[in-house]
Amino acid sequence: MALVYKYPGVYIEEIPSGVRPIAGVSTSIAAFVGWAPRGPNDAAYPVSSWPDYERLFGGLDARSYLGYAVYHFFLNGGTEAYVVRLVADDSDFSTATIGDLELTATGPGVWADDYKAVVRAGTGGLFGLDVVWIDPADNTNTVVVESFENLSLEATNPRFAELVLNEDSAIVNAKVNGTTAPVDAEADLNGGVDGAVLRPEVTAEFTAAMNGNAKNKGIPGLADVDLFNLLLVPGLTDRPALAGLQKFCRDHRAFLITEAAQGANKATLDTTGLSGKDALNSAFYFPWVKAPDPMQEGRIRLFPPSGFVAGLYAATDASRGVWKAPAGTEASLTGVSGVEAPLTDTENGNLNIQGINCIRTFKPYGTVIWGARTLKGNDVEGSEWKYIPVRRMALFIEESLYRGLKWVVFEPNDEPLWASIRLNVGTFMQDLFRQRAFQGASPREAYFVKCDKDTTTQSDINRGIVNILVGFAPLKPAEFVVVKIQQMAGQTAV
């Protein structure tokens, strides 16, 4: 607001600089989808470490690839993830009732039958509640895992039990059915049913749960997540289901990591059904990998590679940047002892030109990712989105600018606004240039930002539109390194 000058003297006025820094978004937040033995299934839940996953979803389970994939993700450098738990239609919740307080486990399954609720009556209608774990091998061994104080059955009280427990408990949800003051009491949770184990090979039931149904929030739950970059459904190989996930990822500026089926024939493997218009936001890996199984005394077994690959994406992003291909001798998979199907250079070459990224074992590097193409990477297509780092770099820029330019909405659409946009977007792109994220020896060669009367016409202004044109010269991986050698013979020393 302009100052009103009333008296002779010196006036100080602060003038806005127009600088609104645009922060780069995270690039490797992974979303995992699959069956787990325990935990909530009404939304996508964040986990920031393997112990975090164990606490919420029960850790490894030999019946499902989900826990292993999350474990492999964190083992290989992943740091942030969301988990979408799927359950079968015949699963059910453990419940308990104490007076007017009805408790239900946060997710279906027998896991919650190992808990009980203990109410401790207080004064003035307030009470405490402990959620206690009971050791199934020795029911005299109990541990209080959650404790809540000063709860109330009155809906007007800030400590209304229904609100507090539904918000803060990882074990139980609550429903209050009356206001009778509680007394000291306890009740076991019981009635939980695991139901059928949903495996991605059983396509119809798994896909129905994944897409959301009466028992599952499923993939649609990810639409409520602020940001995720990578999507994995470990072990899913059904082509129509994967094509649906490709579209979901494209709609949400995310990237799908998928894999061939276990035992796939390397001689006949192809990407039929996976190279449509939405394939640019996905990559395909082959073969499965060998790794020790902690659930089987460390014996070697086969696992889908997607969890390992996602962790390697995260590690590469952190150490080199999203513009670096997550492949090569640096892309060694931690915890892997080999691959299901060793490949020759010729076999690798035949698959590579189809957009299939191979996993191979080389001495002394170990088992490494040896491909960096999207599912639009088939040589016949000649797509501009052939390479994973190029596509993921574009997604990173798009998401960063989408979030960093929200302030533009409702600003006067004229040159001062355009100049401010050029300044802020240009600063963001220049910072990436300094990190060597683009081709080119100078900013002019590496990127451009246009926002002026050429990009935004009077007709656009009349319709409330401002157009910003951003271009960049992406770094592309040196996929084929050619060394030419010429022999020099008969030369005389000078």
Q: Which residues of the chain have pLDDT under 70?
A: 1-2, 479-494
Residue 467's nearest CA partner among 478, 452, 480, 477 is: 452
Pick from 27, 42, 76: nearest CA to 228: 27
Question: Could you give the CA distance from residue 171 to residue 149 in angstroms, rounded to a whole number?
Answer: 16
DSSP 152: B
Sequence ranges of the chain with CATH classification 2.60.40: 95-188
In this structure, are residues 83 and 69 in contact, taking their beta carbons and an 8 Å threshold? no
Q: How far apart are CA 92 and CA 114, in angstroms?
A: 15
DSSP state of 4: P
**pLDDT on residue 490:** 56
Distance CA 330, CA 349 (A): 20
For residues 151-188, one letter each, b for 16 or more C-beta atoms within 10 angstroms of the residue's C-beta and e for the rest, the string is: bbbeeeeeebbbbbbeeebebbbbebeeeeebeeeebb
pTM listed for this prediction: 0.92
Q: How high is the pLDDT of residue 93?
A: 96
For CATH 3.40.50.11780, the residue range(s) in the chain are 30-88+197-389
Question: What pLDDT was estimated at residue 483?
Answer: 61
Identify the H or E element spanning 312: helix 306-319
What is the per-residue DSSP string for 427-471? Answer: HHHHHHHHTT-BSSSSHHHHEEEE-STTTS-HHHHHTT----EEE
CA atoms within 13 A on the CB side of 264: 24
The DSSP secondary-structure symbol of 363 reads T
Q: Which of 74, 88, 264, 268 is nearest to 193 (CA)?
A: 88
Unique residue bearing structure tokens 């109990």: 142
375 and 283 in contact (C-beta within 8 Å)?
yes
What DSSP state is assigned to residue 492? P
Q: Are 93 and 112 in contact (CB under 8 A)?
A: yes
Q: Which CATH class is domain 30-88+197-389?
A: alpha beta
Give the list of residues 6+ apart from residue 464 with CB closer than 8 angstroms, or none.
413
Give helix 415-434 / helix 388-404 axis angle, nearest 10°: 140
Q: Which residue, 145, 149, 153, 206, is CA-closest to 175?
A: 153
Residue 302 to residue 291: CA distance in whole angstroms? 6
Which residue, 365, 394, 371, is CA-closest to 472? 394
Please, which residues have CB within 8 angstroms of residue 489's CB and are 6 or more apart in sequence? none
DSSP for 211-278, written as a single string:
T-BTTB--GGGGGGSS---EEE-TT---HHHHHHHHHHHHHTT-EEEEEPPTT--TTT---TTS-STT
| Host H or E run for residue 33 | strand 30-35
Q: What was the pLDDT predicted at 489? A: 67
Structure tokens at 469: 């044109």
Token digits of residue 167:
């918000």
Instruction: Give the span between the Cα atoms of 357 and 285, in whole angstroms.
Output: 5
170-188 pLDDT tens trace: 999 999 999 998 899 999 9
Q: How far apart are CA 366 and CA 373, in angstroms?
A: 21
Query: Which H or E run includes 121?
Result: strand 115-121
74: closest CA among 335, 369, 253?
Answer: 335
How far is residue 94's CA from residue 172's CA, in Å, rounded to a whole number? Answer: 9
**Three-state secondary structure call for residue 61:** coil
Distance CA 367, CA 365 (A): 7
Confidence (pLDDT) at 2:
67
Q: List Cβ neighbours of 491 (8 Å cut-off, separation of 6 or more).
A: none
For the domain spanning 95-188, the CATH number is: 2.60.40
> 3-state class of 351 per DSSP?
helix
